[in-house]
Copies of this chain bind each other. A is one copy, B any other.
């Protein structure tokens, strides 16, 4: 929930956990936060200082090691007097690029200590990062773009996180170049109905290369190069292509297997590049074709119908938090996402993010409707977020895509020719009853029309709603 809040709000969020067990419970979720550069400032309870070494009940033994390597920085202050500075350090560390989660364990009795007088300085502290390109760096970059015969942009989640979407559009327009989204995106960096939009790159080596074939310059911004998922060996780049990589994360820059990396402020770089790049005589790209048409089989709602319905009736600035892994391709082909901050997906594919993150995002954006699109398997990781939504009347809409199976894995088992695989199905779950048990009004539908009605009912009701939709099984 905090992660959804921090990502949607774009700044640090404070999370307080219960000692070792609470920290342990949170670590699965941190696998996403650390890759979504989510600036969570996590504090955790700890036993009385003098008793930690005895490993008394609830002592968090070796507390600073516990969340590693899933945080950017972790500490337990050496004494009560250093608690204020340590928390200050945590906030500044979380928020400096590349942003990320941080952890501070605070012994119980420290809160009884008196803050040292010098802690007053902490209130006036600021830390800022200068990541502007130097004039030579900019000139080199402009030269690379201007001299390219057929450039292509590949944009990642940090373009959206740093509100550089409009700069990316200006650059794409100036270059008349196609735009891909980097593999496995956790945010949407570019309007999906812009004439340059080409969709999401596949998450495999050869697939990326095939998609980028024919380009002599690949300009990547705001993504690792590249976050492959499925191992299919192959060529890293089309023959003769040059890859230039703009990122705010030195780690991403250093570990990439190819390319020339520039660690910089992405928004500044894209904006200045859009200003300085020469006009091109490449023809303007044609508009995108219409949305692919949809025809369900009748027995259940086809996900494409579902998304098409949402596209038509949801507010234009709706925020989608999605965790339905078998409908990825369908989603990107049906949706019209044009605003910054419209889409969130677990950055490491760590399931359990979606439902609570939707609640958190709705808290961060009271003025936008948040829609959670959650698979029936995923929903159970954090089903109790429904209770929070009910208790605090957070008006999020949760759509459960219920196909009764782990669709992405089922597809993957087929790809691997694994034969019949056990444990894939999740039959026998009635989300309407469960939601009711947690105090959220819910309904179940089996047609797109019924979904539309239910969704329109939910909009503006001023309280959370859950719609269970029986969906057809699709492949990612």
Q: Which of A20-50 contact B (CB under 8 A)?
A: 20-32, 47-50
Q: Which of A254-299 contact B (CB under 8 A)?
A: 254-265, 268-269
User: By the criterion CB–CB under 8 Å, are B256 and A54 in contact?
Assistant: yes
State how many copies of this chain the complex holds.
4
State whether the Cβ of A103 lies closer than 8 Å to any Cβ in chain B. Answer: no
Q: Which of B258, B264, B380 sits near A118, CB closer than 8 Å?
A: B258
A217–B93 Cα distance when bound, in Å, is: 25
Which B residues touch A109, using CB under 8 A? 231
State whether the Cβ of A219 lies closer than 8 Å to any Cβ in chain B. Answer: no
Q: How far is the CB of A77 from chain B (nearest CB, A)?
A: 6
Q: How far is the CB of A28 from chain B (nearest CB, A)?
A: 3
User: By the criterion CB–CB under 8 Å, are A57 and B349 in contact?
Assistant: yes
Q: With CB as the reference atom, state the residue of chain B lying closest to A60.
A: B31
User: By the criterion CB–CB under 8 Å, are B20 and A254 in contact?
Assistant: no
A interface residues, Cβ below 8 angstroms from B? 20-32, 47-58, 61-62, 64-66, 68-70, 73, 75-79, 81-82, 85-86, 88-89, 92-93, 96-97, 107-109, 116, 118, 121-122, 124-135, 137, 183-184, 203, 224, 227-229, 231, 235-237, 250-251, 253-265, 268-269, 348-352, 380-381, 383-384, 387, 390-391, 426-439
User: By the criterion CB–CB under 8 Å, are B391 and A428 in contact?
Assistant: yes
User: By the criterion CB–CB under 8 Å, are B433 and A439 in contact?
Assistant: no
User: By the criterion CB–CB under 8 Å, are A134 and B268 in contact?
Assistant: yes
Q: How far is the CB of A83 from chain B (nearest CB, A)?
A: 9
Q: How far is the CB of A53 from chain B (nearest CB, A)?
A: 5
Which B residues touch A124, using CB under 8 A? 258, 260
Central interface residue in A32, A130, A258, A426, by most chain B CB within 10 Å: A130
- With A30-B24, A93-B250, A261-B126 known as contacts, the answer to whether A57 contacts B228 (CB < 8 A) is yes
A439–B62 Cα distance when bound, in Å, is: 41
User: By the criterion CB–CB under 8 Å, are B250 and A96 in contact?
Assistant: yes
Nearest 3 CB-CB pairings of A with B: A21-B350, A25-B28, A24-B28
User: By the criterion CB–CB under 8 Å, are B118 and A235 in contact?
Assistant: yes
User: By the criterion CB–CB under 8 Å, are B116 and A50 in contact?
Assistant: yes
A66–B131 Cα distance when bound, in Å, is: 32
- With A85-B53, A129-B250, A263-B130 known as contacts, the answer to whether A434 contacts B429 (CB < 8 A) is no
Q: How far is the CB of A394 from chain B (nearest CB, A)?
A: 14
Q: With CB as the reference atom, state the residue of chain B lying closest to A130.
A: B264
- With A254-B96, A259-B125 known as contacts, the answer to whether A20 contacts B52 (CB < 8 A) is no
Which B residues touch A429, using CB under 8 A? 387, 437-439
A134–B129 Cα distance when bound, in Å, is: 9
User: By the criterion CB–CB under 8 Å, are B51 and A231 in contact?
Assistant: yes
Which B residues touch A133, using CB under 8 A? 130, 132
Which B residues touch A391, using CB under 8 A? 427-428
Q: Which of B52, B224, B437 sits near A82, CB closer than 8 Å?
A: B52
Q: How far is the CB of A428 from chain B (nearest CB, A)?
A: 4
Q: Which of B108, B236, B380, B432 sits near A387, CB closer than 8 Å?
A: B380
A212–B154 Cα distance when bound, in Å, is: 50
User: By the criterion CB–CB under 8 Å, are B52 and A128 in contact?
Assistant: no
Q: With CB as the reference atom, state the residue of chain B lying closest to A68.
A: B65
Q: With CB as the reference atom, state the residue of chain B lying closest to A86.
A: B53
Which B residues touch A224, using CB under 8 A? 54-55
Q: With CB as the reference atom, state the residue of chain B lying closest to A351.
A: B21
List 20 additional contacts besides A50-B79, A134-B265; criterion CB under 8 Å: A20-B350, A24-B26, A26-B28, A27-B28, A54-B257, A65-B65, A65-B68, A76-B78, A79-B79, A85-B255, A92-B261, A128-B261, A129-B250, A129-B262, A130-B263, A390-B428, A391-B428, A434-B437, A436-B437, A437-B437
